[in-house]
Amino acid sequence: MTAYLSPPAVIHGDYAVETSQIAAEVRGRHPHAAWAPRIDGIAASTGIDTRGWMLPLETAVAPGSGSGLGTPGIGPAREALARDGFTEQDVDRVIATLEAIPAPQTVQERTAPAWEAVQSYGERAARGALQSAGLDASDVDCLITSHSTTPALPGLDVALANKLPLRDDVMLLPATQWACIAGTRSLALAADLVAADPDRVVLVVIAEALSTTYQPADDTLESLIVRLLFADTAVAAVVTGRRRPESVLRLDAAWHHTLPRTQDLHRLETRADGAHFVMDRRGPRAVQDTVTAMWEWLRIRHQDDPDSWHPDLLLAHPGGTRVLEYMEQTMPAEWPSGLLDYSRDSYTSGNRGGAAVFDILRRAHDSGQQPGSRAVLFAAAPGLTATAVEGEWL
């Protein structure tokens, strides 16, 4: 496996949402929740002050266009009130009051504007990546896309094929359910594609509007954490089979892993009011098991040079700070400190899901890396599934 990566393009959400804004909104909506007195402490523990969203907070918390009663419920409500002895005038007054109660947004109301934003941001990222690679849309032979929180058919692949536009013989490979591993797994797939044909040019685009999982009515502690974590980002990069002047990282090996019987720990559920991201508190411990498996892969891969080999950078998206801490605690003691600095820096402005590893990679690139420095890219996603890629800076 040998492939070459050009600098990724990263487009952050244009709307800055402060953690204090989210805390205030949640506190006002759920003042009697058991965890309400701890909101500020929980918010501070995330280490996130501001995150960028593709749409403003006001859009996420706005009521739906319908009423809380709903058209199908008007007739039964009238009949029930009449049976209880209410006059026709009283019935009209009660029905009017019920119809004035705002309803939650529907799936369509939550998803439609986010899907438009995902397409727009994805196009911006794609054009930026092609420019960084010194290529045009006409040079692309394959497009890999991922967008897990805005389901659509056709998806981002077809949208970009028309917007850029791409040639009509380009291979389109949508991967909408990769979620947090979209960054590393897309690179692994792209490397396999160019290994089969070194002249092939692969464009990867990941656009995630994770803010669509912000559900104002949810009152669980887990839902509070979800509100605080996620950011919206679009990223893109070009992978080629031959080194180009613009190439910054050579990809040398990939590793994949799935932890059995963990599919319920993190999941995306679609309900009447949109997408809900559900987390189990056992999740971080399970992710740690995938980290342990990755360490073993690296150990076996470099067993002929166990004393001197180590990565110079770990560009990791394990989902949260607890797993970053576990990675630091369990990596070999002789490895240098600070390997996860760029990962931590990225996380301070939110969990970017599948776009995270490209954002971390871009931060490392912008800081300047010595040619020959070794990098390991790692991500874990609901499933629990993980992919790591090892490479060398050029």
Residue 227 and residue 360 in one domain: no
Write the pLDDT tens digit of every residue in 46-78: 999 999 999 999 988 888 776 555 555 567 767
Residue 301 and residue 206 in one domain: no
Q: Is 42 helix (H, G, I), strand (E, B) or coil?
A: helix
Residue 185 and residue 144 in one domain: yes
Residue 216 and residue 299 in one domain: no
Residue 83 confidence (pLDDT): 81
CATH number at residue 368: 3.40.47.10
**Helix and strand element counts for the chain (H, E):** 13, 14
Residue 87 domain-assigned (yes or no): no
Q: Is the pLDDT of residue 124 over 70?
A: yes
Mean pLDDT, rounded, for 324-345: 93
Rounded to two decimals, the pTM is: 0.89
Tokens linked to 354: 């599948």
Residue 82 domain-assigned (yes or no): no
Residue 72 domain-assigned (yes or no): no
d(CA 359, CA 264) in angstroms, rounded, equals: 27
Apex 361 CA angle, 241 and 290, nearest 5: 95
Residue 100 confidence (pLDDT): 56
Residue 254 and residue 388 in one domain: yes
d(CA 79, CA 26) in angstroms, rounded, equals: 37
| Percent composition of the chain: helix, strand, coil (DSSP 3-state, to 5) | 45, 25, 30
Q: Kindly write down the DSSP assignment for every residue of 232-298, as one continuous string.
A: EEEEEEEEESS--TT--EEEEEEEEEEEEEETTSEEEEEETTEEEEEE-TTHHHHHHHHHHHHHHHH
Residue 168 domain-assigned (yes or no): yes
- Listed residues 240, 266, 296: the one ending a domain: 240
Residue 95 domain-assigned (yes or no): no
d(CA 96, CA 344) in angstroms, rounded, equals: 52
Write the pLDDT tens digit of every residue in 242-263: 999 999 999 999 999 999 988 8
Q: Estimate to the nearest angstrom the gap between the alpha carbon of 63 and the chain centroid.
A: 25
Of the pLDDT bands very low, low, confident and very high (cuts 50, 70, 90), residue 314 is very high
Strand 15-18 relative to strand 142-146, pairing: unpaired
Residue 71 domain-assigned (yes or no): no
d(CA 185, CA 268) in angstroms, rounded, equals: 19
Mean pLDDT, rounded, for 358-363: 98
Q: Is the pLDDT of residue 340 over 70?
A: yes
Residue 356 and residue 233 in one domain: no
Tokens linked to 302: 């470099």
Residue 181 domain-assigned (yes or no): yes
Mean predicted lDDT score pLDDT of the chain: 90
d(CA 174, CA 120) in angstroms, rounded, equals: 17
- Listed residues 182, 207, 240: the one ending a domain: 240
What total number of domains does the chain contain?
2
d(CA 373, CA 391) in angstroms, rounded, equals: 9
Residue 112 domain-assigned (yes or no): yes
Residue 355 and residue 281 in one domain: yes
Tokens linked to 184: 């590393």
Beta bridge partners of 374: 392
Q: Are 40 and 18 in contact (CB under 8 A)?
A: no
- Listed residues 218, 240, 262: the one ending a domain: 240
User: Could you tell me the residue range of the domain that residue 218 belongs to?
Assistant: 3-60+104-240
Write the pLDDT tens digit of every residue in 174-201: 998 899 999 999 999 999 999 999 999 9
